[in-house]
Amino acid sequence: MKIMEYKCDKISITDSGIGVEVHFENLNGDSELYFLIQKHFEEDEDYDEGSYIETHDFDLAGHYYPKIKLSKSKCIFEYEKNLFTITYHIDEKKFKELEEFLKILGTVEITN
């Protein structure tokens, strides 16, 4: 299993109307390091290929059904043989928004 751990400076959450996206930016203080998870909604309701995950390591990109462990200070994404841990400092409002969007993007377990 490939294990990656990062600290995140900025979390962007977007609802475009045709999809949702959570973008963890500026990982470990480096503007080139990121983790992006998104899902676009198709008109055909039977269409479902999971969520698209992209990172600065292009070998880890693709469509997956991630298991997500979420707390007020950390988010862990598990998919394929990858464990991607991101720590952050966010307020209660941002946490609730993050939780709402991640539940669309994967299976979420709330942890302490």
State how far the Cα of 13 lies from the Cα of 99, in Å rounded to an integer.
Answer: 11
Q: What is the pLDDT of residue 112?
A: 82
What is the per-residue pLDDT across 9-62, written as a single tens digit (0 to 9) for each?
A: 999 999 998 899 999 999 999 999 999 999 988 765 555 679 999 999 999 999
Q: Mind giving me the DSSP string for the chain?
A: -EEEEEEEEEEEEEE-SSEEEEEEEEETT-TT--EEEEEE--SSTT----EEEEESSGGG-EEE--EEEE-SSEEEEEETTEEEEEE----HHHHHHHHHHHHHHSEEEE--
- What pTM was estimated for this model as a whole? 0.92
| Residue in 58, 54, 2, 49 with CA at minimum distance from that of residue 24 | 54
Q: What share of the chain in percent tops pLDDT 90?
A: 86
